[in-house]
C-alpha cells in the first residue's frame, strides 16, 4: 500500500489519488451491495407472493400438465398445477396446486374442485374452449373464511351450485328413474329454473332420489304444496276433443326433465333438502295435491264390501268437479251394527273445502258445520264408476234431497263419517253381453230366404214377355222409321220433280211438333230409368233386415215401370210421329203440294235438328240401362258365384243389357244420320 509513497518524495497529487482510491473503496462496493439487496428483495417478493400448496385428489388426471394447467375460480386463474402424482394405493392421482395468496384464505374445507373438459351431451356442447387451451381445474368456494384445508377430493363433474350460486337444494323422490337424468332441466311454466344431478338409490327404500338445484329467485316459488311431475318423452291422450299428442321440448324428449308448479296456496316455505315426490304426469300431480294443505278435510265413508275396484288416489268428485282424492281404504268392523253390516269398507278421502263453496277464511269447525248442514239437506257420498269404459271407480258426493235422514258423524274417529248411498256401478261386461245377445237374435236364414225370393221375382220379371217385347218394339219402330224415310225420300223426289208444295211448310211444322213429342217421350224415359236406378241402388245396399221390404218395392217398381204407359209410349210415339209424317207425305204426294222450297228446306233442317236432339237423349237412356244392369250384377255378385239364384239373376241382367243395347243401337242409328231420318239421304 505504501509502496508508491515510500520510494518517492511526498507528492500532493499522489496523496490525493491515494485518498481518492481509498474513498472509492467504500463507494464502489455499494453497487454489489445494492444488487444483492435488490435480488434478495425480488426473491423474497417472489417467495412471499407464493400461495399455499393444496392437493386435490382426482380419479384421473386427464389433460393435466404440471406448470401449465391452471386453477380457475369464476374463470380467473388463481393457481397453477405444480405436480401430479399417484396416491399411495395407485387408485387416483393427487394434483398439487399452488394457489394465489389472495384466494388462499377462502379455500376452506367446503371448497370443491373439478376438471373442466369439453362436454358433448344432450344438453349441448360445452367448454369447447378447453379443446384449444387444454383442460383446467375449476374451483368453487364461498366467501367465508373457514378452517383452512389443503387436502381435497376432486369432483367428477361440476356441482350445480356454481351455476348461479344462489338457490335451494331439494330432493326428488320417484319410484323409477323415468324423467330423471343427470343434468336434466327442471322447468317452471316451461322456463328452466334448475337442474338435477346426483341420481342415486335411496338407502331406506327402493325409490330413486335426485338432487335438484332451483336457482334463486325461482326457489321462492317452492312451498310444501309444490308438486313435481315428469315431463320427459311424449304422451298421447284420447279424449272428447280428439287425439292429442303432447311433446315438451326436444331436449326433454331425449334426456328427460321435470316441471313443477305450486297449484295450491297455503304451503310453507321449504327448507333445503325437502323431499318432493315426482308424479308421473301433471294430472296426477294436480290430484296429489289434495291433502297437502292444512285446510283440507279428511272424511270417511262406509261402503258395503261388494264394490271392488276403488283404489287410493281415486278422485272424489262433486258435480263432476274433482274436489279431493281417496287416501285410504280399510276395513271397519263394528259389532253394534246389524249382522250383515258388521264388516264394511272404510274409505277415507280428503277434500278441499274451498271447492265445495266453503269460505276460504273459515275454520275447521265452521267447515264441518257447513258440511253438516249440507248433509242434512241431502249431501251423500257414494261409490260410482266413471271413465270411458266405466271401469274406474270414484267417490261421488251428490245431493239427494229425498234421501233418508242422516247426519255427519263429526265425532267419529279418526275422521268424521259421511253418510253414504248404495254404490252405482255400471258394468261394462253386462252391456257387452247384451249387445252380443241382440246380435245373436238376428234371423239370418229368414233374411236370406227373403232375398232369394226377391231375386226370383226379379228374374221372372226379366223373363216376362213384356220385358222382352221392349227391344222388339223398338226394332219395329226403327223399321217403320226406315219406311218413313223411304217415303220421305220418295216424296222429296217428287217434290224435286213437281216443285215446292204450298203446304210443305205447315207439314214440316207438324213434323217438328212430332219430333218435339218424341223428345218429350224421351224425357220420360230417363225418369223411368231413374226409378230403375233407385231400385238397383236399393238392391246394391240392401240390408238383411230391410231386404224383404226393399225387394218387394223393387219388384213393384220394376213392374210399374215396365207397365207404365211411358215405356210403351216411346215406340208408340215414334210410330205415331212417323205415321203422321208418312200420312203427311202421302197427302203431299196426293195433293202435289208446292211452295217456297227454301223455307221448306230450312224448316226441314230445324225439324231434323230437333230429331237429333231427341235422339241424343237416347244414348243416355241406354247408358242408364247399362248402369242399371251393372248395379244389378254387382248386387248379384255379392251373393257369390254359384246357385240357381245367381244364374237367374244373370239371365235377367243379360236381358236388361240386351234391352239397353237395343236402345243404344237405335240411338246410334239416329245419331249417325239424323237427317236421313227425315230426308232419306
Q: Which is nearer to another protein, 24 or 638 (CB)?
A: 24
The whole-angstrom separation of Cα 150 and Cα 360 is 57
The verdict on 34 binding another protein (CB under 8 A) reads: yes
Interface residue with another protein among 19, 43, 305, 334 (CB under 8 A) is 43
Which span (35-43, 290-298, 307-315, 368-376) binds another protein, by CB under 8 A? 35-43
Which span (3-11, 143-151, 272-280, 357-365) binds another protein, by CB under 8 A? 3-11
The verdict on 31 binding another protein (CB under 8 A) reads: yes
Q: Which is nearer to another protein, 7 or 124 (CB)?
A: 7
CA pseudo-torsion sign 253, 255, 256, 261? negative
Task: Judge contact between 644 and 453, C-beta under 8 A.
Answer: no
Cβ density class 164-182: b for 16+ within 10 Å, e for less? eeebbbbbbbbeeeebbbb
Least separation, in Å, of the C-beta of 28 and another protein? 4
Residues 130 to 189: which contact another protein by CB under 8 A?
132-134
CA 553 from centroid of its chain's CA atoms: 47
Site string for another protein, 114-133 (x = CB under 8 A): ---------------x--xx
To the nearest 10°, the Cα dihedral for 479, 481, 484, 485?
Answer: -100
The verdict on 23 binding another protein (CB under 8 A) reads: no
Residues 219 to 238: which contact another protein by CB under 8 A?
none
**Pick from 531, 534, 526: which is nearest to 631 by CA?**
534
Q: Which is nearer to another protein, 19 or 496 (CB)?
A: 19
Interface residue with another protein among 15, 19, 36, 102 (CB under 8 A) is 36
The verdict on 21 binding another protein (CB under 8 A) reads: yes
The whole-angstrom separation of Cα 270 and Cα 273 is 8
The verdict on 39 binding another protein (CB under 8 A) reads: yes
CA 656 from centroid of its chain's CA atoms: 52
Among all chains, which residue has been given the C-alpha cell 330423471? 180
Task: Judge contact between 657 and 532, C-beta under 8 A.
Answer: no
Least separation, in Å, of the C-beta of 133 and another protein? 4
To the nearest 10°, the Cα dihedral for 492, 493, 497, 501?
Answer: -20
Q: What burial class does residue 134 get, using C-beta atoms within 10 Å of its C-beta: 0-12 exposed, 13-18 middle, 19+ buried?
A: middle
To the nearest 10°, the Cα dihedral for 565, 567, 573, 574?
Answer: -170
Interface residue with another protein among 15, 19, 35, 319 (CB under 8 A) is 35
Which span (1-9, 185-193, 220-228, 339-347) binds another protein, by CB under 8 A? 1-9
Q: Which is nearer to another protein, 43 or 486 (CB)?
A: 43
The verdict on 5 binding another protein (CB under 8 A) reads: no
Least separation, in Å, of the C-beta of 284 and another protein? 49
CA pseudo-torsion sign 398, 404, 409, 413? negative
Least separation, in Å, of the C-beta of 125 and another protein? 16
Task: Judge contact between 212 and 284, C-beta under 8 A.
Answer: no
Q: Which is nearer to another protein, 127 or 650 (CB)?
A: 127
Q: Which is nearer to another protein, 16 or 426 (CB)?
A: 16
Q: Which is nearer to another protein, 7 or 414 (CB)?
A: 7
Q: Which is nearer to another protein, 26 or 598 (CB)?
A: 26
The verdict on 444 binding another protein (CB under 8 A) reads: no
The verdict on 3 binding another protein (CB under 8 A) reads: yes
SS3 54: strand
DSSP string, 378-421: TEEEEEEEESSSS-EEEEEEEE-TTSPP---BTT-SSSPEEPB-
The verdict on 244 binding another protein (CB under 8 A) reads: no
The verdict on 13 binding another protein (CB under 8 A) reads: yes
Site string for another protein, 47-76 (x = CB under 8 A): --------------------xx--------
The whole-angstrom separation of Cα 262 and Cα 284 is 14
Strands (E), 100-190: 112-116, 119-121, 124-126, 136-140, 151-153, 167-174, 185-188
Contacts to another protein by CB under 8 A: 1, 3-4, 6-7, 11, 13, 17, 21-22, 24-25, 28-29, 31-32, 34-36, 38-39, 42-43, 46, 67-68, 129, 132-134
Amino acid at each position: 500500500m505504501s509502496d508508491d509513497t515510500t520510494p518517492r518524495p511526498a507528492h500532493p497529487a499522489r496523496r490525493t489519488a491515494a485518498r481518492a482510491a481509498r474513498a472509492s473503496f467504500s463507494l464502489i462496493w455499494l453497487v454489489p451491495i445494492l444488487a444483492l439487496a435488490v435480488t434478495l428483495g425480488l426473491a423474497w417478493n417472489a417467495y412471499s407472493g407464493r400461495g399455499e400448496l393444496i392437493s386435490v385428489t382426482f380419479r384421473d388426471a386427464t389433460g393435466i400438465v404440471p406448470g401449465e394447467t391452471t386453477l380457475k375460480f369464476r374463470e380467473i386463474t388463481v393457481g397453477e398445477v405444480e405436480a401430479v402424482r399417484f396416491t399411495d394405493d395407485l387408485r387416483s392421482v393427487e394434483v398439487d396446486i399452488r394457489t394465489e395468496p389472495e384466494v388462499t384464505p377462502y379455500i376452506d374445507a367446503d371448497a370443491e374442485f373439478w376438471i373442466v373438459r369439453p362436454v358433448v351431451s344432450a344438453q349441448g356442447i360445452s367448454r369447447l374452449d378447453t379443446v384449444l387451451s387444454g383442460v383446467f381445474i375449476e374451483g368453487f368456494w364461498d366467501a367465508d373464511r373457514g378452517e383452512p384445508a389443503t387436502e381435497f377430493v376432486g369432483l367428477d363433474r361440476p356441482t350445480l351450485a356454481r351455476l348461479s350460486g344462489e338457490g335451494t337444494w331439494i330432493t326428488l323422490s320417484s319410484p323409477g328413474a323415468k324423467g330423471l337424468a343427470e343434468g336434466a332441466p327442471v322447468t317452471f311454466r316451461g322456463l328452466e329454473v334448475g337442474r338435477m344431478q346426483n341420481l342415486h338409490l335411496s338407502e331406506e327404500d327402493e325409490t330413486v332420489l335426485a338432487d335438484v338445484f332451483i336457482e334463486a329467485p325461482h326457489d321462492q316459488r317452492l312451498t310444501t304444496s309444490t308438486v313435481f311431475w315428469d315431463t320427459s318423452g311424449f304422451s298421447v291422450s284420447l279424449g272428447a276433443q280428439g287425439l292429442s299428442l303432447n311433446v315438451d321440448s326436444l331436449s326433454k324428449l331425449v334426456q328427460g326433465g321435470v316441471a313443477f308448479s305450486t297449484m295450491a296456496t297455503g304451503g310453507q316455505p321449504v327448507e333445503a333438502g325437502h323431499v318432493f315426490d315426482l308424479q308421473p304426469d301433471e294430472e296426477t300431480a294436480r290430484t296429489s295435491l289434495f291433502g297437502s294443505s292444512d285446510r283440507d278435510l279428511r272424511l270417511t265413508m262406509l261402503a258395503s264390501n261388494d264394490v271392488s275396484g276403488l283404489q287410493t288416489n281415486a278422485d272424489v268428485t262433486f258435480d263432476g268437479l274433482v274436489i279431493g282424492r281417496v287416501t285410504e281404504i280399510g276395513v271397519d268392523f263394528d259389532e253394534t251394527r246389524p249382522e250383515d253390516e258388521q264388516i264394511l269398507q272404510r274409505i277415507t278421502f280428503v277434500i278441499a273445502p274451498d271447492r265445495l263453496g266453503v269460505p276460504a277464511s273459515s275454520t275447521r269447525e265452521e267447515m264441518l258445520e257447513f258440511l253438516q248442514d249440507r248433509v242434512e239437506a241431502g249431501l251423500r257420498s257414494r261409490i260410482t264408476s266413471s271413465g270411458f269404459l266405466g271401469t274406474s271407480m270414484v267417490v261421488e258426493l251428490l245431493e239427494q234431497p229425498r234421501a233418508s235422514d242422516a247426519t255427519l258423524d263429526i265425532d267419529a274417529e279418526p275422521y268424521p263419517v259421511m253418510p253414504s248411498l248404495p254404490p252405482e256401478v255400471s258394468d261394462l261386461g253386462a252391456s257387452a253381453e247384451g249387445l252380443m245377445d241382440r246380435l245373436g237374435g238376428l234371423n239370418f236364414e229368414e233374411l236370406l230366404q227373403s232375398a232369394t225370393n226377391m231375386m226370383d221375382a226379379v228374374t221372372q220379371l226379366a223373363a216376362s214377355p213384356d220385358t222382352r217385347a221392349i227391344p222388339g218394339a223398338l226394332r219395329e219402330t226403327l223399321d217403320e222409321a226406315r219406311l218413313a224415310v223411304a217415303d220421305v225420300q220418295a216424296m222429296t223426289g217428287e217434290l224435286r220433280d213437281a216443285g215446292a208444295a204450298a203446304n210443305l211448310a205447315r207439314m214440316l211444322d207438324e213434323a217438328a211438333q212430332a219430333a218435339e213429342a218424341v223428345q218429350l217421350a224421351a224425357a220420360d224415359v230417363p225418369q223411368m230409368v231413374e226409378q230403375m236406378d233407385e231400385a238397383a241402388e236399393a238392391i246394391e245396399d240392401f240390408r238383411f233386415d230391410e231386404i224383404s221390404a226393399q225387394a218387394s218395392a223393387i219388384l213393384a217398381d220394376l213392374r210399374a215401370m215396365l207397365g207404365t204407359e211411358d215405356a210403351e209410349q216411346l215406340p208408340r210415339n215414334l210410330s205415331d210421329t212417323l205415321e203422321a209424317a208418312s200420312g203427311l207425305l202421302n197427302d203431299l204426294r196426293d195433293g202435289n203440294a208446292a211452295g217456297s222450297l227454301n223455307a221448306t228446306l230450312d224448316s226441314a233442317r230445324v225439324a231434323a235438328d230437333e230429331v237429333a236432339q231427341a235422339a241424343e237423349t237416347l244414348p243416355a237412356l241406354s247408358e242408364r240401362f247399362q248402369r242399371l244392369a251393372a248395379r244389378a250384377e254387382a248386387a248379384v255378385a255379392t251373393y257369390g258365384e254359384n246357385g240357381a239364384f245367381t244364374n237367374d239373376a244373370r239371365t235377367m241382367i243379360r236381358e236388361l243389357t240386351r234391352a239397353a243395347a237395343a236402345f243404344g243401337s237405335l240411338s246410334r242409328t239416329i245419331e249417325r244420320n239424323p237427317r236421313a231420318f227425315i230426308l232419306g239421304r
